[in-house]
Amino acid sequence: MDKRTDLVGLSQAELVGFVQQIGEPAYRGRQIFAAVQHRRLRSFDEMSDLPKALRERLRETATASTLTVESRYLSADGTRRFLMKTHDNFPVETVFIPEERRDTICFSSQSGCPLQCTFCLTAQLGLLRSLTPGEIVEQIIIALNDAYGVGEKPPRGTNLVGMGAGEPFLNFDSLLRATRIMADPQGLFIVPHRVTVSTAGVVPRIRELATIPDRPHLAISLAAPTDELRDVLMPINKKWPLEELLGACREFEQTLKAGERFTFEYVMLDGINDSDEQARQLANLLNRHDLHAKVNLIPHNPADPLPYQPSPATRVEMFKGILESKGIHTFVRKPRGRDIFAACGQLAAVTQTVGLGANSQGG
């Protein structure tokens, strides 16, 4: 077990406190914070502006990187998937998705996931453990360094989505700590406004998020318009059924500020949740709760051993048409990285590229 302090998981103020504890002046803390978070250096050896004696001392008590990249897969569409290991050997997956106007990094909040969504490959791993704030931040550092070079400024803006492995709201404190560290202008400078987290519906944390002023955008993974079906697809629904979930969503929506995004994600499973009737049920459900959030329809892609097939494109369009006819803003999300098992919610430490894609939605 590595007992050294992971400096990637410390805010600038905490890093100042850390160096003062070992008898160093405060400015050294700020210098190390910038080296880790802004210059994205992952070893003390590279921090050549620090005195050699200090670097040696730091090596004994602290670390600037705890994740190791085991494999890296490059998709035909430019998406990169990283399969990493924690210091104690648990898998962590991160996906970098280049887009014309911005890049998106999809990070994991847990190794595996305790929730049992039946359309999700990650669920098959179970929960291995929750990730620390440092492990969340380091995924972003690794992905940016790989895409642009160590410390190089990303040419486009970077958006983050917490839709990789795990249920972010079951690791809420670490998630919020990580977003605060990443927001520091002297560090990565990725503000909460650039971050979206997706939950399978952990109602108490939705309510808590509603009270936080500087928060990431929220997405709710719905997958079904009735409790009967949602109980099967997303068993968390048995704990927090749709009435309770959508009630909390309504409360959350009332706290939205200008420019804030709030979305529902709906994975499209052939013959399971994609009928005209289900589209009407979904629209009525959202309208009944007076919710104005847009709906993202996410084409599912088959992956062994998941028992579902994707809805045909014409079905997705029909579904979208019905929602829109009832006043629901609806978008069809384009899947990325299907050929390398990089699509959301489908991260299950798959170690080789295969022909079939895998895509669904993360929690």
Q: Which two tokens stand for residue 11?
A: 């805010």
To the nearest 10°, the Cα dihedral for 205, 210, 213, 219?
80
Distance CA 23, CA 167 (A): 39
Task: Say whether residue 123 binds ligand SF4 (CB under 6 A).
Answer: yes
Identified catalytic residue from 93, 138, 167, 265: 93
Active site residue 93: yes
- Which member of 345, 349, 350, 358 binds ligand SF4 (CB under 6 A)? 345
Q: Is the dihedral of CA 153, 76, 163, 251 positive or negative?
A: positive
Shortest distance, position 361 Cβ to ligand SF4, whole Å: 6
Task: Say whether residue 335 binds ligand SF4 (CB under 6 A).
Answer: no
- Which member of 47, 200, 343, 349 binds ligand SF4 (CB under 6 A)? 200
Residue whose C-alpha is closest to residue 93's, from 355, 354, 340, 356 = 340
Nearer to ligand SF4, 225 or 362 (CB): 362
Q: Is the dihedral of CA 83, 162, 180, 156 positive or negative?
A: positive
Is residue 128 helix, strand or coil?
Answer: strand
Nearer to ligand SF4, 71 or 124 (CB): 124
Alpha carbon 108 to its chain's center? 5
Nearer to ligand SF4, 216 or 345 (CB): 345
- Which member of 15, 67, 97, 117 binds ligand SF4 (CB under 6 A)? 117
Is residue 329 helix, strand or coil?
Answer: coil
Task: Say whether residue 167 binds ligand SF4 (CB under 6 A).
Answer: yes
Q: Which two tokens stand for residue 195?
A: 């971050």
Task: Say whether residue 19 binds ligand SF4 (CB under 6 A).
Answer: no
Pick the piece of the chain touching ligand SF4 (CB under 6 A) from 54-62, 115-123, 271-279, 295-303: 115-123
CB closest to ligand SF4, residue no? 363
Shortest distance, position 202 Cβ to ligand SF4, whole Å: 9
Residue whose C-alpha is closest to residue 177's, from 335, 62, 6, 332 = 6
Nearer to ligand SF4, 16 or 306 (CB): 306
Active site residue 249: no
For residue 97, what is the enclosing H or E element?
A: strand 91-98
Task: Say whether residue 113 binds ligand SF4 (CB under 6 A).
Answer: yes
Angle at CA 145, nearest 5°, toward 143 and 76? 55
For residue 69, what is the enclosing H or E element?
A: strand 68-74
Shortest distance, position 362 Cβ to ligand SF4, whole Å: 4
Shortest distance, position 166 Cβ to ligand SF4, whole Å: 6
Task: Say whether residue 265 binds ligand SF4 (CB under 6 A).
Answer: no
User: Which one-letter amino acid corresponds to residue 266?
Assistant: Y
Nearer to ligand SF4, 8 or 121 (CB): 121
Is residue 149 helix, strand or coil?
Answer: coil
- Which member of 64, 92, 115, 160 binds ligand SF4 (CB under 6 A)? 115
Residue whose C-alpha is closest to residue 199's, from 231, 244, 169, 161 = 169
Do residues 17 and 168 touch, judged by C-beta distance below 8 A? Answer: no
Task: Say whether residue 93 binds ligand SF4 (CB under 6 A).
Answer: no
Nearer to ligand SF4, 29 or 201 (CB): 201
Applying CB under 6 A, the site for ligand SF4 has a residue count of 14
* Residues annotated as part of the active site: 93, 344
Residues lying near ligand SF4 in the complex (CB under 6 A) are found at 113, 115, 117, 120, 122-123, 165-167, 200, 345, 361-363
